Amino acid sequence: MKTLVKNIIVCVLLFGMKINAQSQQKIEMRIDSIGNAKLNISMSMNAQEWQIWNSNYGNNPSALKRDIERGMPAYFLDDFKLEKDDMNRSFNLSLNAYGACEINKRGKWMVDTEQKNAQLTELAENKYMLVSSPPEYGGGLQQTFIIELPKEAKNIKTDKNAFGKSVFEFDMDAPSSGFNVMRWAGILLVVIGGGWAGKSAISKNQ
């Protein structure tokens, strides 16, 4: 199963950095009615962290984009937008991740938290918060996830997968028109391309 919640881009964003006990990262994930997600990641740092992060990525957004794509090969990503605040030593990164959740064999939509016994707080209808401290940073980094499920999601509950990790499970109509349009557009392009190639070959033989 593809996962998106655990350590979203954190290893990429903080590559080569020593995290102090005051570091906090906020990740907002809004899922739409066809299972795609809009991600917004923000973080503030101390002076040393900011200098290291800037030398790695802040002054080279193309390197950040490349490493995020390498770190999340299971997803099609686009619409990268990076905003920096040098005065407050903070950044805000937004991007789209397509295919963030999947449909299981029972027809249920699922979002994997990749956390055992995740402590979820319901903030509002279809909106939840999860606080985590990745062990690879010695508990010095606190991540706050805000997960907003689509308004079309019904019968939301948390369950456990085969590895005992918490997942969101909910009912929602399966996507149809959006994917069909993309599929038929692709078929149309293949047909047009084949027709164009055939026409070119006939013209050359005449």
- Count the Cβ atoms, other than its own, within 10 Å of residue 140: 13
What's the rounded mean pLDDT across residues 164-190?
A: 62
Calpha distance 46→21 (Å, rounded)? 11
Q: Give the residue among 37, 49, 11, 45 at the shortest CA–CA distance from 146.
A: 37
Q: Mean pLDDT across the chain, nearest whole number? A: 76
Tens digit of each residue's pLDDT (9 = 90 or more) over 93-147: 999 988 888 888 888 898 887 777 677 889 998 999 988 776 666 666 778 889 9
What's the rounded mean pLDDT across residues 162-183?
A: 68
* The predicted structure's pLDDT at residue 197: 43
Calpha distance 154→46 (Å, rounded)? 42
CB 111, CB 4: distance < 8 Å: yes
CB 93, CB 41: distance < 8 Å: yes
How buried is residue 79: exposed, middle or buried, by Cβ count under 10 Å (0-12/13-18/19+)?
exposed
Q: Give the residue among 99, 133, 163 at the shortest CA–CA distance from 21.
A: 133
Out of 38-42, 65-69, 159-163, give the one with best mean pLDDT: 38-42
Q: Which residue has the higher pLDDT, 96 or 190?
A: 96
Calpha distance 17→49 (Å, rounded)? 6
Question: What residues form DSSP beta bridges with 157?
Answer: 169
Handedness of CA 103, 106, 111, 113 (dihedral sign): negative
- pTM to 2 decimals? 0.74
Calpha distance 81→98 (Å, rounded)? 16
- Count the Cβ atoms, other than its own, within 10 Å of residue 37: 23
3-state secondary structure 106-168: CCCEEEEEEEECCCEEEEECCEEEEEECCHHHCCCEEEEEEEECCCCCEEEEEEECCCCEEEE
Distance of CA 128 to the CA centre of its chain: 16
* The predicted structure's pLDDT at residue 177: 46
